[in-house]
Amino acid sequence: MVFFRVVSALSKLRSRLVQQPSLTSTVRWLQIETSSDLDLHSQLKELIPERQERLKKLKSEHGKVQLGNITVDMVLGGMRGMTGLLWEASLLDPDEGIRFRGMSIPECQKVLPAAKPDGEPLPEGLLWLLLTGKVPTKGQVDALSKELRSRAAVPDHVYKAIDALPVSAHPMTQFTTGVMALQVQSEFQKAYEKGISKSKYWEPTYEDSLSLIAQLPVVAAYVYRRIYKNGQVIPKDDSLDYGANFSNMLGFDSPEMHELMRLYITIHSDHEGGNVSAHTGHLVASALSDPYLSFAAALNGLAGPLHGLANQEVLLWIKSVVDECGENITTEQLKEYVWKTLNSGKVVPGFGHGVLRKTDPRYMCQREFALKHLPKDPLFQLVSKLYEVVPPILTELGKVKNPWPNVDAHSGVLLNYYGLTEARYFTVLFGVSRSIGICSQLIWDRALGLPLERPKSVTMEWLENHCKKSA
């Protein structure tokens, strides 16, 4: 009971954080002080009963409260703007951007443990935060990093499944194939077939999720080395953390690239539940599909040009600017090229967002990284010029709600600078990162007993008749 009262007090303090910024340091202190156990699984066993009661109370006392009205535009516009999902790990504000368990990206950069002083957050720390709502200590992050390394061995049949595909197959196709091949080890599937109690669903889901997160960099690196490095695989290094190990297995061992990979994985990990990959993972998992099947489905959504494939398109477009106009392009030349792209019926990739109405904070932290480490890089300087040129042009068009750059406008240029130049592979990096958010939520889906997702659909005739009656 004492623990629950502490958690309740913490929850109340955190809910006041937005209104009272002065409480920030107090809340962070409480988060750190109430998170002492090094074992993540034990932390969740303590947290889950309180959250289950909280959900039960919310449903019984406020289940009939309306959250808004559905319009025909929403139905025809891809359900855009409808509030219809519970997603605990993060919340996306149109103006402030993403918050991970209430914390902005700059706040996470300040309080999450890093590999070195003033370094980028360790992705393991964000995983702990998304699962528990608490800022972990360095000891907890190190323990989780060690556990992930212990789970990272990939069975030989996974490599054989990937090798059955042509080397020319898209990296995302090969990556998703590897994830599907991992599915045969699912602890959730085995437990379900034996008749596990619903109240225990979260435990084998936890086992699957942590193993999946641990194995993904190994599979992803294998795909990269198979396609681009003549199959010369680099084994994992048990002395390195999650992000640095992934970078090293890809073939990039510079400390700066390790830092970039830590930042990349952290900021791409989650973006609330309505984006295609997160929603797909949640939807498939609601049918009690195991984490491997659910995440493979999420990856297939991520591979679409309007979602994760956009980071590939940005770098290719930027390189097309350089090919036609040279690296020392003037502002006026750049304006002409942007108008040329728009007038041809295409979009300028990397600008705009379905929810955000200001510059993506994920773009800004990557910009800060570039200003610190590669301020004179020609492609970064071009990206900076685009930041000045594109928003006014899109505003002039009058059709764009958000003319500002998103996360994809910057990531490719950073990766390219450190030698990861193969744009077709970029979405695989995104996929590895997104596993942290999707799997964190999936564990809570099971713990809270969230039901099968089944929205109501209607025909165009139904909509027309309904509108006639309303008129």
Find tokens 């300087």 and name the residue.
381
**Catalytic annotation present for 353:** yes
From the list 258, 307, 360, 410, the catalytic residue is 307
Contact between 217 and 208 under an 8 Å Cβ cutoff? The reply is no
Q: Tokens standing for 356?
A: 């955000």
**Nearest one of 17, 38, 56 to 448, comparing CA atoms:** 56
Burial class (CB in 10 A: 0-12, 13-18, 19+), 139: exposed
Q: Tokens standing for 203?
A: 């435990």
Number of residues written out for the chain: 471
DSSP code for 355: S
Contact between 315 and 380 under an 8 Å Cβ cutoff? The reply is no
Q: Tokens standing for 362?
A: 């994920």
Find tokens 């360095």 and name the residue.
138
Please report which helix (H) or strand (E) contains residue 97, including its range: strand 97-100
Burial class (CB in 10 A: 0-12, 13-18, 19+), 385: middle
From the list 208, 241, 290, 408, the catalytic residue is 408
**Catalytic annotation present for 408:** yes
Q: Tokens standing for 278?
A: 């997160």
Q: Which long-range contacts (CB under 8 A, 24 or more apart) does 167-172 make?
A: 167/226, 167/227, 170/303, 170/424, 171/223, 171/224, 171/227, 171/424, 171/425, 171/427, 171/428, 172/299, 172/302, 172/303, 172/309, 172/427, 172/428, 172/431
Find tokens 């564990």 and name the residue.
443
Phi, psi for residue 351 in degrees, rounded to 5: -120, 140
**Catalytic annotation present for 307:** yes
Provide the annotated active-site residues.
307, 353, 408
